[in-house]
Amino acid sequence: MSLQTITIKKPWWMNTNIYELYVDKFAGDLNGLAAKLPYLSLLGIDCLHLLPHFPSPMADDGYDISDYRSVRTKLGTLDDFKNLISAAHARGIRIILDFVLNHTSEMHPWFIEARSSRTNLKRDFYLWNDTPNRLNDATNAFPDIKESNWILNKETGDYYFASFYPQQPDLNWDNPEVEREMLANMDFWADMGIDGFRLDAAPFLVKREGGTSNGLSETHAVIKRIRKHIEAKYPEVILLAEAHQSIALTKEYFGNSDECHMAYHFPLMEALWVELAGIHAGSVGHMVNESFDIPVRCQWAVFLRNHDEISLSTLDPDTRARLIAFFDPQSKYVFKKARATSMRIASIFENNPEKILQAIQLLYSTPGSHIMYYGDEIGMRNLPADPSIIDTRKFVRGQFDWDEAKRQMQDQNSTWNRIATMIRSTRSITD
């Protein structure tokens, strides 16, 4: 009698190669992105993280959403989006949407109503106070852009709370109606066939006096309810947490396999850069050893760069200062009162393609599901600095250079081909 080997297939998010992009910067519009799917397949990509595609005044490059159930006009239509999903799925490529839970645009219909009078029915969708003297210790995410999280509302003479841009009023997650509406918005896209949601600014949802309001137990309770709702209706749809906290606190976003399926590994990102800068040898190995006592069917999303500044918030001040000097010695792209800087990999290792490849190789040699930020595979650099622009993240969000991509694809020794080999090898090793 022979024993039959039973193979249990891992969930798709346990081993996926993610590519993060702006639809317009990468391909013009949704139909253009559908036409570029063969390029992504050749690169070894099997999951797209689409940065916000929703209608927006674009104060924060789309993270200020004015309509959660539509597509920005310049990107196309809902039918175009449905066609993109079908085309991607036909190639075995999944799609994760960037979903902003913490705030809306000031031009969202809810806030237009809420700010109109103190008695409006949508008033309690947001946070208000008569003076700017509440939640004083809460995180101000953009201290370069605003002095306080409390923004004067001229229509009613009081203040609304905004953790990020002043044009991004925070939602009141203590209001059950907010939760019902946001879950309905998620259902809209899950019904269309998307495969996951990146939960933007996940730690910020619930605010309380007496601390930073970062990652409160009440916020984790909200995420658990979101997970329960999504899992009951769409068991293959995942949640990916954006939460830059210590390794111990970041693990909490997995819950007991009842919060997020994945979380960005910000502490490992910091360790990767500490090692690449030659500051502390062995940082990556130490962080990996600290990382994988996580629940079954959960996974880290590992990365070197994304659409934001290189956030270094859990490092000690000396290491952070040394890294920023390594990244940006002329301080052209500093952000958050010079506690971070916005740099692409090829701008850090200017004129040194071997260093770029070393960095990417280190990333893809670490366990987890890996993320490539659009353009890094061809050595895209920062846009030229402009001192009049405070938000330096905009300088890592340039147009993809298709001429350069085509040139490199034809050169077997190019950065593109060598990185594509690295990406594809992660699947052959772990499948």
Assigned token pair, 200: 């933007």
Contacts of residue 225, Cβ cutoff 8 Å, sequence gap at least 6: 179
Q: What is the gyration radius of the CA atoms in the chain, in angstroms?
A: 21
User: How many residues does the structure list for the chain?
Assistant: 431
Taking residue 61's Cβ as centre, other Cβ atoms within 10 Å add up to 16
Residue 53, token pair as written in the block: 């595609």
Which amino acid, one-letter code, is at 255?
G
* 3-state SS assignment for residue 245: coil
As a whole number of angstroms, the distance between CA 158 and CA 340 comes to 32
Residues 193, 198, 17, 399: is their CA dihedral positive or negative? positive
Q: What value, to the nearest 5°, has the Cα angle with vertex 374 and ends 251 and 282?
A: 45
Helix, strand, or coil (residue 409): helix
Separation between Cα atoms, residue 215 and residue 204, nearest integer Å: 6
Q: Give the C-alpha separation, 155 to 221, whole Å.
A: 34
CA distance 329 to 71: 40
What letter does residue 5 receive in the DSSP assignment? P
Token readout for 204 is 């910020």
Write down the residue that tokens 């080999």 correspond to: 421
What whole-number distance in Å separates Cα of residue 331 and Cα of residue 137? 28
Q: Residue 372: which of 49, 131, 2 has the closest Cα?
A: 49
The β-bridge relationship of strands 196-200 and 238-241 is: parallel
Strands (E), 242-368: 262-264, 299-302, 334-335, 340-341
The burial class, CB within 10 Å (0-12 / 13-18 / 19+), for 319 is: middle
CA distance 341 to 336: 8
- Interstrand relation of 150-153 and 158-161 (parallel, antiparallel or unpaired): antiparallel
What residues are annotated to the active site? 200, 242
